[in-house]
Structure 1
């Protein structure tokens, strides 16, 4: 890869755009167009730059790390008190033998003379607009600059280092998986699917990584799964007959990387050192995950990947990287301001931008975002024990109630590409879930378990070791299957916004068909011909229910949405949906002292958790609310909710926004974005709350609420500022149905700007009642 002189980002905002154009548009027109694009990109960068995170001292340890990534590859990066640059490397698909999502390793970069020492100037900045971390240390001839970025378009990490005077550079890989080790006790929670085995006949073993020795110019390492918990999981859950049909996704999965750089030589299997002093070095790290028959085959794939990436012109690659991030920030934004809002305006706007940054850094890989840390977990002190960077509380499975929340925030943000991994995981698991339904219940359709490995089964800890089944021994999630309804609702929203008919036919309808069939066939009808959901439960909270609200409201919402589709559906499907809608029991609404409100279920007992299932009729299923009707019933349900709090995965702020409660929603949103993990330096590492650090629900809930405060779309009409407080000024750009974007500016309680694209949808926009 051809590498040009390192240029400080403050002096290259226009250069990057010119690089992109110089190849194809010679002459003065290319310069004029480049300057025009530069002005546009500069405006985007300026608007988000106010939320850049800047530190003026190094960090003590990994709790002072900054996150950066390209959607699949992530770093937790910091400069330690010794002046060394340190970072963990993570990946979205580095699943181990025990289905733990492992780090690839840790890298230390040392400069000589050192980057920083006590008394020197230091500045570390997360440059959101450029998608990079910039570090400056020292002054004059001692000044050094580092720029670290994970290419948005290619699987490679770059560390660029430059000094006013020549220096030496050393890069060292550190791995901690050096020998077989059994994990147990509190640490075993990070492999939670395999815990709870009283007989201890399946010990949880950490296996060592491999260093590929004998390389002169690179450090190469990998972890290769020669064992797998997949067979024991399926066999224990009476699904062993499916092992041939659905190949093991863990066995021989291999992940690692290659570290190299011009002017650097390998001095041992884990260290690169400069041969001579230079003013500039560029360190490259190329991560790779693949399932291969042999380790050598993986090494061949890695070599080809390095060749392919390095064939790209370096400056062009960096310009394209920057352009990706500029385009990302230009999709949408919410900037809260105004003297009346005070400091909370900046806190809210910064929290929104930083959570969106974390979503983008970890949301475009092979698998969905992990609610319990994404790919940005670090080593942690838990009680009296210190666990390595592979630890995360609640382990590797996906809890639907937690996993969904980052994805609901992506719709209005226009981050549709980030939603692909979630939809792909559920689509890929559909066939196994259909077969599982047939084996367990002898009827058609499919259910998705609440706590699910990416391939579609429970963990054995929830199913129960040696449990006869078919339902789980874990009563919290025994019949919590409504996630299949909700992901269908989310997919229908995606389709309504993107108008992607291929997505409808290939993804939405196959999942909708099987989920609805399951709910249609699994329960009996009562004397009136209505489906009677019993036995059932309302989320994890009420364990003994008849006709729980999440199921009844969710099915009603989804069926009505499906029946509203004008194209791409068969007559037989429409007839079946109409029949099922007719057969649904009524919503569990009651009347007390002339006030009507929704109950958690028609009948409910055995309280075990702290959700408000009745408010699922407000969000995510939107039967009651400002934009959807029955507002008074929704408000009375809200007033009577049992748990009143906004933290972690709690949804009070979102539901307040849907009900037009501007002050309540604003209070909750401000509270969420003001509260991050006390031991973490980065101001969007929330948690742990109910999960782990960084908690991906805490910030995402606040994102969703802030969006719905600014804009709500009921499928035909767009309500502007439905729950926006008068004392908050704002400028925003958000997405709505039918490929619509709405850009609005509010100052001093007045709407100063409103742009709707396409213009044909301008007549569909209506101001919220308090703004009329």
Structure 2
């Protein structure tokens, strides 16, 4: 009897394991449909393919002459001018060259494994290369295998070889904020190429000066510099290339001495605030030696495991049986996964994702038009962060469960908190902290936005009218932090980051304005986003404070005080009514109680839908919100425009699917890789364009607020989907929707299933 029970128990376990393996196999099979495959070499860098480990990135291409090239980048390669620079360009030449035009050729981004595979040559001398940016270590690896012995040469091709002044007016925009009226010349400092005695190619860029102190001095914050550390002075970034099969023949070249069948080369990367070049060199050598003591085979296995776990963590795979729509829907599914891939390649570093190109900018030598002839350091809008743009990749990371990728953003705001408290006290003589809409990573306005001529401007007032009273980002990052805590229940984050930052932001909004005769906050002077530079009682501030304070009141009593709760409750009671207006005789939400000075193309009234979720499916006054959306002034999509997200939240299935599909099916024809969106309002690859579509697709499937989870609130009945997404309280939801019906639904933990409400096109 005991043996029989054990027998059936073993069968049961085998079935469970088999089911789990089958599910995992399906996940990996689906993600493999996202692989990008090229059967011809690229013309130039506009045909680059991105890869990365979250901090270090490469943009790789093979040219028609058979050479393999890639740019190297890093999330914290901040120059003396506050620009995010590339590190170098690296070229691999093989002889005889299997990749030249005329030979068979294959280049594949193996998305499941996070690596680029290249193969070429005739059957008897086929050569293959794996290129991977180690997910767990700061190194780029090249593994070359050839059936016939080959020779190889690796060269570095730096372009910052001389100190120079930027004079090209287009290129100067890459130094946005430090150029312009009243500015000093923008000087690009040269890199150092080290001619060390060992068998390594070594280069670095070290900041021997910094704009930081002058930036603070201009803004009346010089006192702060006395006890603070300059974040870019002596920032040193660069790399070290070496291979056991190659020897150094010059400071920029490694070569094989004899033809070989197998070659492995490593490009080690380091950013370090270093008092001397020697200390940086010692550290990168120590890092390289430590990494190379580990088994290369094991590191590659662990690298693949990281990526496979990432894809198993969450997913959305969309398809359709409609023949006329198959390509368009395939592009939606592929676009979602490739944009999430790019986020993972650039989202685990010491600085947040740059909206204007991330770490995947390339040179524009062959780009026809206005931007032709610029090096890979160029990006429109330069090194500063715009909250309106920066936020969009991060809103997509909650439902995908990519919580690790959100940490650099929150760290930037936490690190900038001391200077923002100091600035608030200096400018306004009250407590709290405000964060500028446009700011360097250390938390200050860029010079040109603040204004260099202060003769007619009081301390703290910006010359730039687009951001003069634009502090809305502080409220939105507060809600994002609160949502992050709601999803993860990370108590350390709550106590060490969320509460210190958010309470100071709320202090600012509490202290900054007077109350009117009814005891309500009078938001004046103010503005409604960048769109209306004069506003009284703007809607984004009203709904933002209400939402943030409401969420703060839900936090554990063990982490908050009764005094704090009284403040949050009082602030809610002191808010003016949400502004309303009329269009065609019908009531709609309004940008503010009073507003003028239109100067941009946003819809401030729709902030009540996203990000602040006052209106949406399952909530009161849905028709008011839908009517407002229908009558909105700006109806477009692309770039940072968020109409697709708002349509999804309002359950407008046709509009949401149309706008989301449009974003995912947009192609920048000048570039080869599918998700090199842009430049739109910013630069290529535009991280906002793809991220808006990510958020919209997720919200078409799943929406969360309070204790309720809505499934399929804006999902087209002729789109099939398999997905796994996250919701608050560490909850995951897996489901399949086929032929207009839900085929399975798995909620973990099961107790959360009671919070789910299913809304489909067939049940509306």
TM range (shorter): over 0.9
Aligned to 1:193: 177
Within the candidate set 141, 149, 153, 1:166 is matched to 149
Is 1:262 the equivalent of 2:262? Answer: no
Within the candidate set 587, 590, 597, 2:588 is matched to 597
Normalization by structure 1: what TM-score? 0.94
Is 1:245 the equivalent of 2:235? Answer: no
Aligned to 1:372: 356
SS of 1:632's partner is: helix
Within the candidate set 650, 654, 660, 2:645 is matched to 654
Q: How does 1:82-121 map to 2 (within 5 A)?
A: 82-121=65-104
Mapped contact 2:170–2:371 kept (Cα < 8 A): no
Q: Residue 33 and residue 558 in structure 1: after superposition, are their counterparts in 2 closer, same or farther (change >3 A)?
A: closer
Is 1:668 the equivalent of 2:659? Answer: yes
Mapped contact 1:464–1:473 kept (Cα < 8 A): yes
Q: Using the alignment, how far apart are the partners of 1:714 and 1:321 within structure 2?
A: 36
Q: Using the alignment, how far apart are the partners of 1:638 and 1:36 within structure 2?
A: 45
Q: Using the alignment, how far apart are the partners of 2:231 and 2:761 within structure 1?
A: 54
Mapped contact 2:716–2:761 kept (Cα < 8 A): no
**How much has 1:653 moved relative to structure 2?**
0.2
Q: Using the alignment, how far apart are the partners of 2:510 and 2:154 within structure 1?
A: 59
Is 1:355 the equivalent of 2:342? Answer: no
Q: How does 1:703-718 map to 2 (within 5 A)?
A: 703-718=694-709
Mapped contact 1:59–1:78 kept (Cα < 8 A): yes
Mapped contact 2:583–2:631 kept (Cα < 8 A): no
Q: Residue 627 and residue 106 in structure 1: after superposition, are their counterparts in 2 closer, same or farther (change >3 A)?
A: farther
Mapped contact 2:149–2:259 kept (Cα < 8 A): yes
**How much has 1:217 moved relative to structure 2?**
1.3
Mapped contact 1:660–1:723 kept (Cα < 8 A): yes
Mapped contact 1:622–1:628 kept (Cα < 8 A): no
Mapped contact 2:127–2:145 kept (Cα < 8 A): yes
SS of 2:226's partner is: coil
SS of 2:284's partner is: helix
Q: Using the alignment, how far apart are the partners of 1:524 and 1:379 within structure 2?
A: 51
Q: Using the alignment, how far apart are the partners of 1:626 and 1:493 within structure 2?
A: 19
Within the candidate set 603, 608, 615, 1:612 is matched to 603
Mapped contact 1:56–1:123 kept (Cα < 8 A): yes
Q: Using the alignment, how far apart are the partners of 2:641 and 2:540 within structure 1?
A: 15
SS of 1:123's partner is: strand
Q: Which moved more, 1:336-345 or 1:230-239?
A: 336-345
Mapped contact 1:219–1:260 kept (Cα < 8 A): yes
**How much has 1:245 moved relative to structure 2?**
2.1
Aligned to 1:625: 616
Q: Residue 275 and residue 114 in structure 1: after superposition, are their counterparts in 2 closer, same or farther (change >3 A)?
A: same
Q: Which moved more, 1:404-413 or 1:513-522?
A: 513-522
Q: Using the alignment, how far apart are the partners of 1:481 and 1:88 within structure 2?
A: 36
SS of 1:387's partner is: coil
Aligned to 1:53: 36
Q: Using the alignment, how far apart are the partners of 1:60 and 1:627 within structure 2?
A: 52
SS of 2:397's partner is: helix
Describe the superposition over 1:623-670 as per-residue Cα deviations: whole angstroms up to 9, x where unpaired.
011144321111111011000011100000000000000110000011
SS of 2:373's partner is: strand
Within the candidate set 488, 492, 495, 1:505 is matched to 495
Mapped contact 1:71–1:365 kept (Cα < 8 A): yes
Within the candidate set 680, 683, 687, 2:671 is matched to 680
Mapped contact 1:721–1:771 kept (Cα < 8 A): no
Q: Using the alignment, how far apart are the partners of 1:643 and 1:384 within structure 2?
A: 28
Q: Using the alignment, how far apart are the partners of 2:23 and 2:649 within structure 1?
A: 34
Q: How does 1:285-684 map to 2 (within 5 A)?
A: 285-340=267-322, 341-380=325-364, 381=367, 383=370, 385-467=372-454, 468=457, 469-567=459-557, 568-590=559-581, 595-684=586-675
Q: Residue 68 and residue 701 in structure 1: after superposition, are their counterparts in 2 closer, same or farther (change >3 A)?
A: same
Mapped contact 1:215–1:266 kept (Cα < 8 A): no
Q: Using the alignment, how far apart are the partners of 2:453 and 2:441 within structure 1?
A: 22
SS of 1:584's partner is: coil
Q: Using the alignment, how far apart are the partners of 1:429 and 1:91 within structure 2?
A: 21
Q: Using the alignment, how far apart are the partners of 1:723 and 1:353 within structure 2?
A: 20
Mapped contact 1:627–1:712 kept (Cα < 8 A): no
Q: Using the alignment, how far apart are the partners of 2:571 and 2:18 within structure 1?
A: 59
Q: Using the alignment, how far apart are the partners of 2:202 and 2:611 within structure 1?
A: 46
Q: Using the alignment, how far apart are the partners of 1:535 and 1:431 within structure 2?
A: 25
Mapped contact 2:715–2:760 kept (Cα < 8 A): no
* 5+ long unaligned stretches in structure 2: 1-13
**How much has 1:511 moved relative to structure 2?**
1.4
Describe the superposition over 1:434-473 as per-residue Cα deviations: whole angstroms up to 9, x where unpaired.
0011011111110000001000000101001132431110
Aligned to 1:152: 135
What CA RMSD, in Å, does the superposition of the two structures yield over aligned residues? 1.7
**How much has 1:216 moved relative to structure 2?**
3.5
**How much has 1:215 moved relative to structure 2?**
2.9
Q: Using the alignment, how far apart are the partners of 1:672 and 1:74 within structure 2?
A: 24
Is 1:283 the equivalent of 2:273? Answer: no
SS of 1:81's partner is: coil
Q: Using the alignment, how far apart are the partners of 1:337 and 1:207 within structure 2?
A: 50
Q: Using the alignment, how far apart are the partners of 1:384 and 1:590 within structure 2?
A: 43
Q: Using the alignment, how far apart are the partners of 2:533 and 2:101 within structure 1?
A: 59
**How much has 1:769 moved relative to structure 2?**
5.5
Q: Using the alignment, how far apart are the partners of 1:296 and 1:41 within structure 2?
A: 48
